[in-house]
A and B are shown apart, each in its own frame.
Chain A
Amino acid sequence: MTTSTFSERGAAAVGSAAAAAVGDGARHLIEKRAAAVDAYPAMDAMRDRVREIRLHTLAHLDAYLADFADSVEAAGGHVFFAADADEANAYILGVAGEAGAELVVKSKSMVTEEIELNGALEAGGLTIVETDLGEFIVQLSGDRPSHIVAPVLHWTKEQVGHLFADQLGVPYADEPTELNQIARTHLRRIFLRADMGISGVNFAAASTGTIAIVTNEGNGRLTTTAPRVHVAVMGMERVVPTVEDLGVMLEVLGRSATGQSLTTYTNLITGPRRPDDDDGPDEFHVVIVDNGRTAVLGDEVSEVLACIRCGACLNICPVYRTVGGHAYGDVYPGPVGSVLSPILFGFEGREELPYACTLCGACLEVCPARIDLPSLLVNLRERVAQEGTAFSWLDRPLDAYEFAATHPTMWTASIDGASLAGRANRGGWFKRLPWRGKTWTSVRNLPAPAVTSFRRWWKKHHGA
């Protein structure tokens, strides 16, 4: 979290090449999602099951975590329960120390970013290499990821070419094929001699202790196969009851995230290499991280823990598409981040996040777990308003909300983005947003708004 505010970061980002690239990338992903959903008639039924399984598990989370830990241990793995980031990082450092590890490979994981694991391990003298191509670029450059599933949406191929030439000592190239080849060769050497691999966990099955790690590149498999020690770090809410339930999550994850019916590699791991196995890690550790999640569980917005981190709500969000990921200031951007971050990390400095939203309802429309993000954001707005936090730019806290509610036709008329921008200025709606209306005039291509879903949502909540 930086010391600037969302509106300052957002205003700076609007119209920037980086934010425009994120917007384009997000639009592309959401189009692919729509095509995948159209091609899969069971999507709605599966989303119902996903929601049911996620909420059921959360309601009995302590019991399922206990089951999961027992199952991992029965399969020969170790489990550590980490109350916070420090405990998690200290444990992983300890594992590395005992294993005599020096070189650590990582596959992309949000929770390890959240607990700032890399910094902790580097302070402990270890070398950490991010292996997802996007994260590798982010790490080499000292930049930050702009998107949950596509961290370098904001980079051009020329920028990557210069980075590789500078940092890896290879000749400059700017063809993606060559850049990929450079990364493959460089990272393959590192994989094959790394001592320890650290991964995240997309889902964990309590009854068997199986964890699922999905990647398209295969770095998730190499990270969990080549080094002799594998440490998997998971937010404690990742668990579901059984492998079959885990399968249901997979039915919607890839389709929602990137429009793939399945991500290329769905890696299901149950314990370390078995006695007669040919390969795989000799040691397997799972670190279950709370780090504020219990507070979320006890909060009115606890439903957000049902999130499966697909990124669809980011891709569809008109605010995210306009300001990009960095404006949100935390690991988790977009609508889901605006709900999660204030509770996970504290309201201070994040009071604006619940307002970084036009309440268009599009995120609810796409969320595979049917999380009612608009209602959760309204809940947080009310609390921010009650706290009396100073928002000089807000005459009345719910103006944008009320305006949207009473002007649903604005969306209907807004398919043409340019005309929307003009109307928004006249209507004053977007003036209620933190960075004021004027910057929105540069928005050329707002998404087709989810008019029906918004109306449905409004009806449900206000009986109008």
Chain B
Amino acid sequence: MERDAFLTRVRSGISGATLPPAPELDPGPLTPELADVDLVERFGTVLATLDGTLHTGDPRAAIEEIIAHHGPGPLLAWDDEHLPLPDAVHRFLQSGCARTDGVVPHSAEKRLTHQGGYFDVLYGLTGAEAGFAETGSIVVRSGPGRPRMASLVPLVHIALLPSDRIFRSPMHWLTEHGADVAAVANTVYITGPSRTADIEQRLELGVHGPREVHVVVIE
């Protein structure tokens, strides 16, 4: 249907409507009132309840511990310049991980071949724009050198989060940084590992996305 005809029809629907009175929107703050807490501590506690892990302390040691646990494997990582720890990628490579190129070609055929290579990715290494203490979530934004797939296809996702980027709740971040959302094609809030409870309500991790989410705090 033509846009104008569609919208005219919608307008006619509204004019006959018996919607409850709709006041103009309250211009007051949309941020929920929540008690003050230690942001890093709350973030870690909530993330743990979601089966994710927060690493404070020496970030390099945390990375090495993760690699030691799973062994070397294919890595999909953001470019160094977008990571708050300059030698993070290097640590993986040094441990014998092979880096997979994150730039997906445009041509249909090359795209298929390239993405076929994502089947076995073990590690995904990304930055994080923000963290939410209330929900244990991180915000990950796509862009050049910041492929979306790095936080999606691997079995183990490691996100590097600067400690001063932890906000009280999603709305605390959004009311300050709302413009950042649409400034890129994809912004995602990631709240723990991929999960499902579809079969008999039993929780299972890693059904499509990562099975492990490690948030490494960078001071």
Contact = CB atoms under 8 A, between A and B. Distances in A.
Interface of A: 24-25, 28, 40-42, 45-46, 49, 52-53, 55-56, 58-62, 65-66, 69, 75, 79, 81-83, 87, 100, 131-134, 137, 150-153, 155-157, 160, 176-177, 179-180, 183-184, 187-189, 191-193, 195, 205, 208-210, 216-219, 221-222, 225-226, 228, 236, 241-245, 247-248, 250-251, 260-274, 276-280, 282, 288, 290, 293-300, 302-303
Contact of A87 (B1, B7, B10, B15): B1
Contact of B102 (A61, A278, A297): A278
A180 B186 contact: no
B84 interface: no
A250 B187 CA distance: 14
Contacts of B178: 242-244, 247
Interface in B2-38: 2-3, 6-26, 30, 32-35
A25 B13 CA distance: 38
A204 to B, nearest CB: 12
B40 to A, nearest CB: 18
A265 B170 contact: no
A290 B118 CA distance: 38
Closest A-B pairs by Cβ, 6 of them: A218-B209, A42-B32, A297-B13, A208-B182, A298-B16, A294-B13
B102 A221 contact: no
Interface in B33-48: 33-35, 46
Contacts of A250: 170, 189
A205 B1 CA distance: 22
Contacts of A60: 14
Contact of B34 (A42, A62, A265): A42
Interface centre among A79, A156, A189, A278 (most CB of B within 10 A): A278
Contact of A222 (B111, B198, B208): B208
Contacts of A272: 185
Contact of A61 (B10, B106, B119, B170): B10
Contacts of A264: 50, 190-195, 209
B199 A180 contact: yes
Contacts of B201: 24-25, 28, 150, 153
A290 B145 contact: no
Given A61-B14, A180-B199, A270-B187, 10 more contacts: A42-B33, A82-B1, A134-B198, A193-B116, A219-B208, A225-B186, A228-B108, A243-B182, A265-B189, A278-B147
Contact of A65 (B7, B119, B174): B7
B104 A290 contact: no
B184 interface: yes
22 contacts: A42-B32, A52-B22, A60-B14, A66-B3, A137-B199, A152-B198, A155-B199, A195-B108, A216-B195, A221-B209, A244-B30, A244-B175, A247-B170, A264-B192, A265-B191, A266-B137, A268-B188, A269-B186, A274-B143, A280-B104, A293-B13, A298-B16
A156 B14 CA distance: 45
A184 B208 contact: yes
Interface in B134-175: 134-137, 142-149, 152-153, 170-171, 174-175
Contact of B104 (A217, A268, A279): A279
A132 B209 CA distance: 12
Contacts of A217: 194-196, 207-209
A73 to B, nearest CB: 10
B67 to A, nearest CB: 23
B196 A180 contact: yes
A276 B197 CA distance: 37
Given A221-B188, A248-B30, A282 B144 contact: no
A157 to B, nearest CB: 5
Contact of B204 (A180, A245, A280, A290): A180
Contact of B22 (A59, A134, A155): A59
Contacts of B192: 264
Residue from B16, B26, B104, B196 having most chain A Cβ neighbours under 10 A = B196
Interface residues on B, range: 35 or more
B115 A260 contact: no
B204 A177 contact: yes
A294 B104 contact: no
B116 A225 contact: no
A208 to B, nearest CB: 4
A269 B184 CA distance: 8
Given A131-B208, A262-B189, A280-B186, A216 B194 contact: yes
A353 B6 CA distance: 30
Nearest to A84: B1
Contacts of B25: 52-53, 56, 241, 245
A264 B34 CA distance: 22
A269 B152 CA distance: 15
A266 B136 CA distance: 13
B184 A247 contact: no
A191 B115 CA distance: 9
Interface in B96-113: 102-104, 106, 108, 111-112
B170 A55 contact: no
B81 interface: no
Most chain B CB within 10 A, of A41, A236, A243, A250, is at: A243
Nearest to A51: B20
B199 A247 contact: no
A75 B182 contact: yes
Contacts of A180: 196, 199, 204, 206-207
A102 to B, nearest CB: 11
Contact of B191 (A56, A184, A260, A295): A260
Contact of A188 (B12, B30, B199, B208): B208
Contacts of A209: 182
A184 B5 CA distance: 44
Contacts of B149: 225-226, 278-279
Given A266-B191, A268-B187, A58 B10 contact: no
Contact of B115 (A179, A192, A268): A192
A75 B183 CA distance: 10
